[in-house]
Amino acid sequence: MDILLATSNEGKIKEFKKLFNNHEIFSLADLNIEDPIEDGKSFIENALIKAKHGSSMSKKYTIADDSGIVVPALNFEPGIYSARYSGKSASDKENREKIINKLTKLNIDSADAFYVCVLVGLRSPNDPMPIIAQGEIHGRVAIKSSGNGGFGYDKIFYPNNYDCSMASISEEEKNKISHRAIAVENFFTAFKTQDTFS
């Protein structure tokens, strides 16, 4: 079955293609569909906006995610603004540096944090019963940056029960423990109650 993954984020596309390896995955870029304006106030709202837009434009089963990192000590920032924390066209490095600078100003070298991913699946733009699934991974963000893998905030995020950053964990391991992997597992559990793939 063809699935539209309603994102243009190369890092997310790479991860999802591995997680959904039994299906043909298309991205917005593959179908020349522009990203919608994300003006929701929560992860769920933004995921729904992206899913409805993608489904309407592609006529394919559409899965959209909205994800980010949350640092309670920084007033729960960056949250839904994770991808553009330092500005609309900010790089991952600039976004990480903003967190590092804020921690430094608080005179702390790390703080509790968690990654969250919300997935929404729609059979059509007007699907009255969307699948909504969530995944989280908890740990700490630190002023110390390490690792060469991953993307986003992975270089400064240290998951609980690991002595290294998310960017130092193998892709295989990350695809088992990440917020996105957990959300996908929960998504498929809900999927089984629908006749989507029959």
Is pLDDT of 124 > 90?
A: yes
What is the third-level CATH fold of 2-191? Maf protein (3.90.950)
Separation between Cα atoms, residue 158 and residue 149, nearest integer Å:
13
Look at residue 103 and give its three-state secondary structure.
Answer: helix
Q: Angle between the 10-19 and 179-191 helix axes, to the nearest 10 degrees?
A: 50
Q: What's the pLDDT tens digit per position in 132-174?
A: 999 999 999 999 999 999 899 999 999 999 999 999 999 889 8
pTM reported for the whole predicted model: 0.88
Provide the mean pLDDT of the chain: 92
Amino acid letter at 149? G
Expressed in angstroms, the distance from the first to the final Cα of the chain is: 10
Closest CA to 113 of 151, 181, 160, 148: 160
Catalytic residue (one of 66, 92, 127, 154): 66
Is pLDDT of 45 > 70?
A: yes
Rg of the chain over all Cα atoms, to the nearest angstrom: 17
66 assigned to active site: yes
What is the pLDDT confidence band of residue 195, given thresholds at 50, 70 and 90? Answer: low
